Amino acid sequence: MEVFDEIKEMYADALLKHGDSPSSLLTPKGRNKLRFRAVGQQINRGGIKILDYGCGLGYLYEYLSKFDYPVEYTGVDILPQFIDTCKSKYPKAEFRLIKETEPIDGTYDIVFASGVFNLISHEAKDLSKDYTFERIKHLFSITTDVLVCDFLSSLVDFEQVKAQHFSASEIIEFCSKKLSRRFQLRHDLLPYEMTLIVWKNDEVFRPDNIYSADK
């Protein structure tokens, strides 16, 4: 069985066991909302287009629906059962089933990928990390403003067998060389996790930049 098939089977079994619950996403209760804050902080106007890559059970859509600013939300996932559940719960939102390496059509102001890269996707760990970075490069290519994604940190007491952990130096090197020099790597939102926020516009002189006063 391919690793991705194992991953999908694991989530399908969890959904069958726990139903519409964070436990079906292999996520402790309350953790998702903490992850979502990083996205919410980027929303400052209405009409923003958001791609939820690995949308799971659509909890980000539920979270964003409480904001004052309406957003254009699209959720995608590789598990059919997740997509079916989301379409039933939120008929007004757009949800699509995708394949693991499928390019995503269109462009989005914000692309969010939460918990997507926490499991090893290939037998060889190096190949798994290569796949992760290639997908992130693709996601960054379709955002017009900002990419937000999270990783398991290597600063842990132990690593689970199937979990994929990254060091801060790995993420910083990859981001600065392959994505943008304007980014933020946060290690304060959740223990044992890092959140990467990367902006498309990496110009030095911007209205919100302290150096703009010298222009």
Q: State pLDDT tens for residues 12-64.
A: 999 999 999 999 998 876 777 778 888 888 888 888 999 999 999 999 999 99
Q: Where are the domains of the chain?
A: 29-201
Confidence (pLDDT) at 160: 80
Q: State pLDDT tens for residues 80-121.
A: 999 999 999 999 999 999 999 999 999 999 999 999 999 888
Q: DSSP secondary-structure letter at 163?
A: B
Q: Of 40, 110, 121, 111, nearest to 78 (Cα)? A: 121
Q: What angle do CA 36, 112, 144 make, to 5 degrees?
A: 125
Q: Phi and psi (nearest 5°) for 59?
A: -70, -30
Among the four given CATH numbers 3.90.550.10, 3.30.2030.30, 3.40.50.150, 3.50.50.60, the one describing domain 29-201: 3.40.50.150
**pTM surpassing 0.85?**
yes
Say if CB 163 and CB 152 are below 8 A apart. yes
